Amino acid sequence: MNIIATFHPADKDYGHMKIEESQDALQLRLIRLGAEQPLKAMEQVDEDDEENMTAEQLEAHRQFEAKRKSHYNEFYAVKLARQLMEKDEELLEAESEEGAGPSSAAGPSSSSAEPAPAPDSAPSTSS
């Protein structure tokens, strides 16, 4: 009868016990406010509230906006990258046209993209 005694003890609730917890800070604040005033987190922030800023704050805000625009100007960065890629392709084509002359018959040029492996770095096949 140990199985019955250990499988379902009478004093065990298996975590289904209802726990009375106190209210959290948000619920208490809502009760105090009476839900008449919206919380600051729920209010919409007007970012263009420049009329309430001082001259120093306005200047700092304008500088920040300018720096942000220059930093996050991804469209310009993509255009610049495409232009650089086109220039690189043109240079490679020009080099390949120049290299197609009689010097290419002598063997691979020394300006190849992959350098030849060093003789010491070749894997050994002896056991």
pLDDT in tens, 35-83: 666 656 666 666 667 778 889 999 999 999 999 888 888 888 889 999 9
Three-state SS letters, 28-50: HHHHHHCCCCCCCCCCCCCCCCH
More confident residue, 116 or 84: 84
Instruction: Tell me: pLDDT of 31 over 50.
Output: yes
pTM: 0.28
**Residue type present at position 38:** P
More confident residue, 8 or 115: 8
